[in-house]
Structure 1
Amino acid sequence: MYTLTVNNNYAWDIGVSNGVIIPKKGNHTFNRRGSLYLTVPGMGEINFIDLAKKKIDGYPYPKETWGILIRTHSTEAYYRYEGGGEITAIIDDLGTLHLSTKKGTMIHIKLPELILN
């Protein structure tokens, strides 16, 4: 499980899939999280997918045991950690997502949004 701290510096409130509303200029900490998503008005959703021990194909790094995929409309971050992970997500005044961690490893990745078979 990981801790997610969200700081909302955006012009509108941010909705969360578990029913929490993070007011503009407010923040919220989610302890012992699994998967959830944030809804940023005018920008779309930010999805935090709990991968548990599953690794993303084609990405042997980072190597830590537990994983989270943070997915937005056009790009992703891949985060892995040991023990309790910690992610800070800041949505700035322009709606841009800033991610950081002090525990574990986070890298920028690109996954396809659509695959035709």
Structure 2
Amino acid sequence: MVCGIAHEGGDGSRPHPLPAQILDHATGYLAAFGAMAALLRRSVEGGSWRVELSLAGTARWLDGLGRVAGAAAPEPDVTGMIEEMDSAFGRLTYLRPPGTVDGVPPYWSSPPPERGEHPPAWW
């Protein structure tokens, strides 16, 4: 919220969090894209390549894309994107991970662990 994007949703005195962690998600996707681009470049040109990203840089880029009136925007259609699973916390509903690998979509094979379920140890 430090970049100011969340300020617009607030009451003028404090920011209001966005409904999704778009900065974290977008920066993560850009990091994965950068790593893949660097690997491709290495396979063609050789050498090693560096990818640099920052949350502030992603925020500036996203902020530069402009705005839509959120209240007037239609709800997104998430048909086919929702999954459910049982967990120690009850029934979880979540968005499927995006993309495919060799035509196979990624998936969660198990629910999130309970706190303390796995001991802190190096493998």
Range class of TM-score, shorter chain: under 0.3
Instruction: Between the two structures, name the one with larger relative contact order (CA 8 Å, sep ≥ 6).
Output: 1
Give the structure-2-normalised TM-score.
0.23
Structure with more strand by fraction: 1
Structure with more helix by fraction: 2
